[in-house]
Amino acid sequence: MKHYTTTAAILLTAALTVSCNSSKKLQNPNNPSTDNTVVVTPSNSTDMDEAYLTLSDAQRDIVNRNNVFALQLFNQVSDHSSKVVSPLSVAYLMGMLANGADGVSQQEILKAIGCEGIDINDLNSLYQNILQTADRLDQQTTVSIANYIAVNKAYRLRPQFVSTVTDHYMAGVESLDFSNPATVKHINNWCSKHTDGMIPSIIDQTDPAAVSYLMNAIYFNGTWEKKFDEGKTSEEIFRGYTRDIQKVEMMHQRNKFLYAEMPLYKAVVLPYGYGVYHMTVLLPNEGKSINEMMASIDASTLSTLTSKMDICNVNLQLPKFTTETNIPLNGIVSTLGAPCIFNPAEADFSKFADGQFYVSQMLQKAKIEVSEKGTKAAAVTAAVMLTSLGPTDYRDVNFIADHPFVYTISDSLSGTLLFVGQFTGNK
């Protein structure tokens, strides 16, 4: 059986709650864009979108800026415990919010995700390209990105906003009765469906006073390009964040991987499927902490890391683990530059609907499983990779992940970071 990595994230903003001092409820008109469900899904009948492979300068700049945001987000949530976050999921939801915002609110949203001064049309175009092509870049890897907006049936969204989120974010838009308990199950069913059951629910109840719930879900299931031998997995010692001794299920293999030794850490790249997606594991050197390591790493460091790597015969030992994270984002997003969207007196979502609205709650649930399950066959691309890189004499190195480490999951074509996490043990 193959080892595979499965990750999922669901991001919710119980957003655009009406402000008590300046609100305007609208009666439901006979308008298809507000009363009916709008379901838009990517077409699977076309080939890979070449525009995604040849990003414009403006789009590549946005990817780089989003990756700066990704590391800022990770640094905000990281502590002594195992964590996983999807910065891309946050970016998608913030992108939808930006299209409904105006003035300072829109400027702050773009600033928070590193895109201050960016043309929002370029942002929308990039996110559309990623969404439409993510699941077609590698037939051996499943990547699903979905957006959803549940709207209180007492309100109507502006047609231009609906057009933008359905065209560029492929968002499903539904008008629902927030006072009906069945609506909670309906919304949670969407969450479960688009994370393949990994995250079965996102809300416990709906607020009848809320105007809308906006959601993004990202699901990733990648089969390792090079398999671990299940029979070699054994219980071994792992030294946690405080040097406490734990036992973990340690997976073993010896194989050729891209590998680098930096002053503060070691890094190894573990490809999935045909190699379009990969996990990069960053392991602090003995005596160094994750905090010390991450202080030396920025988005530029990550984007150029593979160019500094060599193919080596790696004695790889990696824990088998599951991590779940629930992250309240109001404070983090405020710290990163967008405080006004949570303030009823300052938020401006006039492009979303007619009225005075603000974001009352923003949170993310994320989960990752690195385990010995699944039967999907991995593609053999090592020979092609090794031939293209030349040398045939590879040095032997050890990569023993028996203490806390950081990992990222990204695509090799655009460099977009889908997930960033740390494993500090099972406690």
pLDDT in tens, 361-388: 899 999 888 854 322 221 111 112 222 3
Mean residue pLDDT across the chain: 83
Higher pLDDT, 188 or 20: 188
pLDDT tier, 313 (very low <50, low <70, confident <90, very high otherwise)? very high
Q: Could you tell me which residues come within 8 angstroms of residue 187 by beta carbon, excluding any fewer than 6 positions away?
A: 150, 176, 202, 203, 206, 213, 215
In the chain, where the domains are located: 4-222+323-368, 224-321+373-423
Q: Which fold has domain 224-321+373-423?
A: Alpha-1-antitrypsin; domain 1 (2.30.39)
Write the pLDDT tens digit of every residue in 38-65: 333 333 333 443 434 568 899 999 999 9
pLDDT tier, 35 (very low <50, low <70, confident <90, very high otherwise)? very low
The model's pTM = 0.87
> Can you tell me the mean pLDDT for 147-172?
94
**Nearest CA-CA partner of 85 in 164, 9, 160, 147:** 9
In this prediction, residue 49 carries a pLDDT of 39
pLDDT at position 310 over 90:
yes
205 in Cβ contact with 88 (< 8 Å) = no
Q: Which of 99-103, 387-391, 399-403 has the lowest average pLDDT?
A: 387-391
Domain 4-222+323-368 and domain 224-321+373-423 have a common topology: no
> Can you tell me the mean pLDDT for 75-101?
94
CA 203 to chain centre: 19
pLDDT tier, 21 (very low <50, low <70, confident <90, very high otherwise)? very low
pLDDT at position 2 over 70:
no
pLDDT at position 183 over 90:
yes
How far apart are the C-alpha atoms of 257 and 245, rounded to whole Å? 29
pLDDT tier, 244 (very low <50, low <70, confident <90, very high otherwise)? confident
Decide yes or no: CATH 1.10.10.10 for domain 4-222+323-368: no
pLDDT at position 24 over 90:
no
Alpha-carbon radius of gyration of the chain:
22
